[in-house]
Structure 1
Amino acid sequence: MSTATVAITGGTRGIGFGMAQALLARGHRVAVCGTDPERTDRVRAELPDSALVHAADVTDRDQVQGFWNAAVERFGGVDIWINNAGISHTRTPLWELAADDARKVVNTNLLGVLNGCAVAVPAMAAHGRGHIWNMEGLGSDGRSVPGLGVYGASKRAVTYLTEALAKETPDQVTVGLLSPGMVVTDLLIGGYSDPAELAKARRIFNILADRVETVTPWLAERAVTRTRNGAHVRWLTTGKVLRRFAAAPFRTRDLFAD
């Protein structure tokens, strides 16, 4: 695909914002949405005028539809839709997690993806083509981490949903998974209440994680070139994990120096 129109939910921060910047640098048309009005205004000022920055809450399907409509009005259509919006929660056992916090995570991470797909699939089918990417996260591969049960369950569900959608979408619409691995964002390092646990986690992050500006150009390039049905794009492969652990005793990395 030479020049694409890409819409990214949760595109005003973290991985979504990094991908938006990388796509714009490659000449693509980009629309992003976010829920924080102050951040949305700031991103609108940071991105070029060619980008569309829209306020939308992915847990509300009408607002997701409004984001789609705004992108179509600006660009004439959407070629690639990326369900990137996601949040985590305090690392704590399920029974200690406030019901509202659990609900927000599930509503954003799972219902938000459901809403995005429900809006994008029929519109893309009517247009005759389109690709949807859903963003994986911790838990997508079935690995469990104590204290992150709700977040992991929501991401596991997204993976199942995507695999099911790949079997039921119309022929004109394709669906796939983007797996960014460990990326240093608020989502990765937030939620620690114990400083000792955070220090321990940072040691692992310094081996396996990467900064946003390292991962997102790679993801952006593949988001517009690997648009086959059932595609699964992974940054942090098993081979890369093994090589990084093997090199760790001889390699010094500090992703948190700043």
Structure 2
Amino acid sequence: MSAARVVVVTGGTRGIGLGLSRELLARGHQVAVCARSQASIDEGVTVLRAGLADPGRVLGLVTDVSDRAAVQALWDAVSAHFGRVDLWINNAGLSAPRGPLVAQLPATVDAVVQTNLIGAFNGSAIAQAGMAEQAGGGWIWNMEGFGSRGEHQPGMATYGASKRAVHYLTEALVKDAKGTPVKVGFLSPGIVATDLLVGDYAGDPEGFEKVRRVFNILGDRVETVTPWLVDQMLGATKHGTRVAWLTKPKAMGRFMSAGFRKRDIFATGEA
């Protein structure tokens, strides 16, 4: 579809969200991003507007995605500014330092669940209601992560449980929205070198070094993954589509060729 679309990317000022936003703008679309602080909005919007002939194609708004009223205000502001919302990407996410659940601070667990799960609930509900009322409907995309499809590792209870719940939520939305003008999809970026990934090992540099080799085999950088993800989302037509970058065959191929290909996805300039 060549016509410009209006896209909301929650958590769109850093990491994968920022990468998705940049690729959408590069393809001529209009993008609204949200973050929890004005400083993050200012920084992200500055990056996204750099080099654009029309800076008005970028809108940034402070939004707490765990607050349903705030998410509704985001929808209302974007609709008023651009006239509609064609794609809503529930990307905002938090992780927690790896470790046993008993060692996780209650505030950390609450923040992860509120952002990853409640944020996806709120974004999905608001977008589904709004898109059902506009001509042509729209697409809701929910971001998968470790745990979404039943993966398990020690120390990942908080993040993994939140993402498993988001997967169930998305499956339910696919059923709920069947036969309506609103389509729902799963977005799976795989392992991407972001501050979220590195932050999982905050305070555990030895643990990070143990898994770094695997990350360098299976992982990629934001600028490698996001162009493909955006093209797949924009080209999707089937309700319930799952867009997945790291498939099992790709992972197997990566492991088989690991001895012949040296990569460091955490180094500047690695593609």
TM-score w.r.t. the length of structure 2 is 0.93
Q: Could you tell me how far apart the structure 1 residues matched to 2:9 and 2:26 are?
A: 15
- Read off the aligned partner of 1:97 and give its amino acid letter: Q
Tell me the alpha carbon deviations over residues 219-245 of structure 1, each in whole angstroms, 9 at most, x when there is no partner: 111121114211100000001000000
Q: Does the alignment pair 1:154 with 2:176?
A: no
Give the one of 209, 225, 231 matched to 1:221. Answer: 231
CA distance in 1, matches of 2:171, 2:123: 15
Shift of the 46–80 alpha-carbon distance from structure 1 to 2, 3 Å rule, reads same
Match of 1:90 among 76, 81, 97: 97
Deviation, 1:66, is: 1.2
Question: Residue by residue, what CA displacement relative to the aligned partner does 1:35-69 show, whole Å, maximum 9, x if unpaired?
Answer: 12212111222222221111101001111111111
The separation in 2 between residues aligned to 1:74 and 1:145, in whole angstroms, is 44
Structure 1 segment 38-53 matched on structure 2, within 5 A: 38-48=39-49, 49=55, 50-53=57-60
Deviating beyond 4 angstroms after TM superposition, the runs of 4 or more aligned structure 1 residues are none
Q: C-alpha separation between the residues in 2 aligned to 1:74 and 1:223?
A: 23
User: Contact between 1:6 and 1:80, CA under 8 Å: does it hold in 2?
Assistant: yes
CA contact (8 A) 2:21 2:31 kept: yes
Matched, 1:8 2:17: no
Distance in 2 (alpha carbons) for counterparts of 1:257 and 1:30: 29
What is the deviation of 1:9? 0.4
Equivalent pair of 1:131/1:227 in contact (CA under 8 Å): no
Shift of 1:194: 2.2
**Contact 2:192/2:220, CA 8 A, preserved across alignment:** yes
The 3-state SS of whatever aligns with 1:32 is strand
Q: Secondary structure at the match of 1:54?
A: strand
> Letter of the aligned partner of 1:27 in structure 2?
G
- Conserved in 1, the CA contact under 8 Å of 2:7 and 2:85? yes
Amino acid aligned to 1:250: F
Paired with 2:115 and 2:46, the residues of 1 have a C-alpha distance of 25
Code of the aligned partner of 1:187: L
Matching of residue 253 in structure 1 with residue 260 in structure 2: no
Partner in structure 2 of residue 178 of structure 1: 187
Distance (whole Å) between structure 2 residues aligned to residue 257 and residue 124 of structure 1: 41
In the superposition, the TM-score normalised over structure 1's length comes to 0.97
Structure 2: runs of 5+ lacking an equivalent: 50-54
Q: Aligned partners of 1:69 and 1:228: how far apart in 2?
A: 27
